[in-house]
Chains A and B, each alone.
Chain A
Amino acid sequence: MNIDAIKDLAYKMADDQLIIGHRHSEWIGLGPLLEEDIAFASKAQDKVGQSLAFYKLLEALGGQDPDTLAFGRTAAGFHNAIFAELPNGEFDFSIIRHFLFDTAEFIRFEMLAASAYQGFSNLGKKFKGEVQYHILHANEWLQQLGNSDDKTIARMQNTLDYALPYALGVFEPSKWEEALLAEGIFAGERELQARWEERVHAALKQTGLTLPSLTTVEPVYGGRYGQHSEHLQPLLDEMGEVINSEPGAEW
Chain B
Amino acid sequence: MYGGGYLFEKTSLDLLADEDQEKLAEFEARIDRGEKIEPHDWMPKLYRRQLIRMIEQHAHSEIIGALPEGTWITRAPGFKRKLGLMAKVQDEVGHAQLLYSAAETLGKSREEMIDDLLSGRSKYSNIFNYPAYTWADSCFISWLVDAGAIVNQVANSKGSYGPYCRALERICIEEAFHLKFGHHAVTWLATGTPKQKKMMQEALNRWWYPMLQFFGPPDKESAHSEVLMRWKVKILSNDETRQQWLDMYVPKIWELGLTIPDDKLKKNEETGKWEYTEPDWDEFVKVINGDGPCNKERLAVRKTAEKRGEWVRKAILATSPSKEYVTPLA
CA–CA, A239 and B315, complex, Å: 34
**Alpha-carbon gap, A155 to B66, bound state (A):** 30
- CB-CB nearest in chain A for B85: A25
Contact residues in B for A238 (Cβ distance below 8 Å): 74-75
A48 to B84, CA, bound (A): 11
Question: Which residues of chain A come closer than 8 Å to B77, judged between CB atoms?
Answer: 71, 242-243, 251
Main secondary structure of the interface of B (DSSP, over half): helix
Q: Give Cα distance in the complex from A250 to B77, angstroms.
A: 9
Q: Give A44 to B309 CA distance when docked, in angstroms.
A: 20
B82-A91 in contact (CB<8A): no
* Contacting pair A52 B63 (CB below 8 A): no
A71 B78 Cβ-Cβ under 8 A: yes
Mark interface residues in B103-137 (1 if CB within 8 Å of A CB, else 0). 00000000000000000000000000000000100
Shortest Cβ distance from A30 into B: residue: B305
Contacts of B311 in A (CB 8 A): 91, 152, 155
The contact string, 1 if C-beta is below 8 Å from chain A, for chain B 86-105, is 11011001101100100000
Complex: how many Å from CA A34 to CA B59?
11
Given contacts A148-B315, A148-B318, contact A34 B79 (CB under 8 A): no
B97: which A residues are within 8 A, CB to CB? 34-35, 38
Task: Give chain A residues whose Cβ lies under 8 Å from the Cβ of B320.
Answer: 144
Q: Which residue of A lies closest to B320 (CB)?
A: A144
Report yes or no: A67 in contact with B74, Cβ–Cβ below 8 A: no
Q: Does A66 contact B (CB under 8 A)?
A: yes
Could you tell me if A149 and B96 are in contact, using CB atoms closer than 8 angstroms? no
**Residues on A with beta carbons closer than 8 Å to the beta carbon of B90:** 28, 37-38, 41-42, 45
Give Cα A37 to B309, complex, Å. Answer: 11
CA distance A235 to B86 in the complex (A): 17
> Interface extent on B, as a size class?
35 or more
Closest CB in chain B relative to A157 CB, distance in Å? 13
Interface membership of A3, Cβ < 8 A: no
Residue-by-residue, is B201-224 near A (CB-CB < 8 Å gives 1, otherwise 0)? Answer: 000000000000000000000000
Query: Which residues of chain A are within 8 angstroms of B63 by Cβ–Cβ distance?
Result: 29, 34
Residue pairs across A and B with CB atoms within 8 Å: the count is 129
Counting CB contacts under 8 A, is A31 at the interface?
yes
Give chain B residues whose Cβ lies under 8 Å from the Cβ of A249: 192-193, 195-196
Pick the contact of A45: B86, B301, B304, B319 (CB < 8 A): B86
* Contact B308 A91, beta carbon cutoff 8 Å: yes
Contact A34 B100, CB 8 Å, known A28-B93, A147-B319, A148-B315: yes
The answer to whether B70 touches A29 (Cβ under 8 A) is yes
- Min Cβ gap A46→B in Å is 10
CB-CB under 8 A from A91, the residues of chain B are 308-309, 311-312
- B154 within 8 Å of A (CB atoms): no
Which A residues from 28 to 72 make CB contacts under 8 A with B? 28-35, 37-38, 41-42, 44-45, 48-49, 52, 66-67, 70-71
CB pair A29–B308 under 8 Å, yes or no, is: no
In angstroms, Cα B94 to Cα A22, docked, is 20
Q: Are B75 and A41 in contact (CB under 8 A)?
A: no
Say yes or no: A34 contacts B93, CB within 8 Å.
yes
Which residues 153-196 in B have Cβ within 8 Å of A in the complex?
185, 188-189, 192-193, 195-196
Interface membership of B258, Cβ < 8 A: no
The contact sample of 14 A-B pairs, CB cut-off 8 A, is A22-B74, A30-B304, A30-B308, A32-B308, A38-B97, A41-B93, A42-B90, A70-B79, A91-B311, A145-B312, A147-B319, A149-B318, A152-B318, A242-B135
Other 20 A-B pairs with CB < 8 A, given A29-B301, A148-B319, A250-B192: A26-B73, A28-B73, A28-B90, A30-B304, A30-B308, A32-B305, A33-B312, A34-B96, A41-B93, A70-B79, A144-B319, A145-B312, A148-B318, A149-B315, A152-B315, A235-B74, A239-B75, A242-B77, A249-B195, A251-B196
